[in-house]
Amino acid sequence: MNKKRNLVLFIATSLDGYIATKDESLEWLFKVEGEGDNGFTEFYETVDTVLMGEKTFDWVMKQDIKEFPYKDKECYVFTRSSVEDTEFVKFVNDDVTNFIYKLKHKEGKNIWIVGGGELLHSFVQEDLVDEFIITTAPTVIGKGIPLFKEGEYQLDLSLKGVRKFNQFVELHYKR
């Protein structure tokens, strides 16, 4: 049976490939002048399921937010600890290949992997990501949390599109 939907990475990085500083700051990213919401709403409408690692979830919850930003989607947070589900979030510690296989074979819109780098690493090692939409800031931060961690893998992608949002460049690749 063929898969019914894609797993898509939609993420922003520094020019030197980091998604946050080591102390998890995104200040360098938020100060870059983009255009509108840099394609976010358009992308968000294409997904109905959101995946993230526990550290990214923690980061989201530490922000000054009135409500959980992904409450209109099915949201899964990966953690190796045992955590009780909340109204909006299911915590999972499943084998990523099985979990993604099951999700991709369910009817629905695409699946968004929000990040971060550690969760993405589990996914790219198993070649589970179908599309990569990477928005690059014109900023070199020297060190930080890498988008792609070092490992024994190679992904040969094909370029599907390039868009410019003022100072940002969005690169869209397909597996």
Q: Which residues bind ligand NAP (CB under 6 A)?
A: 11-12, 19-20, 24, 26, 29, 52-56, 59, 78-81, 93, 96, 114-119, 122, 145
The nearest distance, CB 135 to ligand NAP, in angstroms, is 8
Structure tokens at 174: 């397909």
Please, which residue, 63 or 154, has the CB nearer to ligand NAP?
Answer: 63
What is the 3-state composition of the chain as percent helix, strand, coil, each rounded to the nearest 5?
20, 30, 50
**How do beta strands 110-115 and 7-13 pair?**
parallel
Closest chain position to ligand NAP (CB): 116
Please, which residue, 2 or 81, has the CB nearer to ligand NAP?
Answer: 81
The nearest distance, CB 61 to ligand NAP, in angstroms, is 11
Please, which residue, 6 or 79, has the CB nearer to ligand NAP?
Answer: 79
The nearest distance, CB 107 to ligand NAP, in angstroms, is 25
The nearest distance, CB 11 to ligand NAP, in angstroms, is 4
Q: Please give the helix or strand (H or E) that residue 97 lies within, else none.
A: helix 96-104
6/109 Cα distance (integer angstroms): 8
The C-alpha angle with vertex 73 and arms to 78 and 68, in degrees rounded to 5, equals 75
Q: How many CB atoms lie within 10 A of CB 77?
A: 24
Please, which residue, 48 or 118, has the CB nearer to ligand NAP?
Answer: 118
Please, which residue, 84 or 107, has the CB nearer to ligand NAP?
Answer: 84
The nearest distance, CB 48 to ligand NAP, in angstroms, is 19
Choose among 10, 115, 9: nearest CA to 55: 115
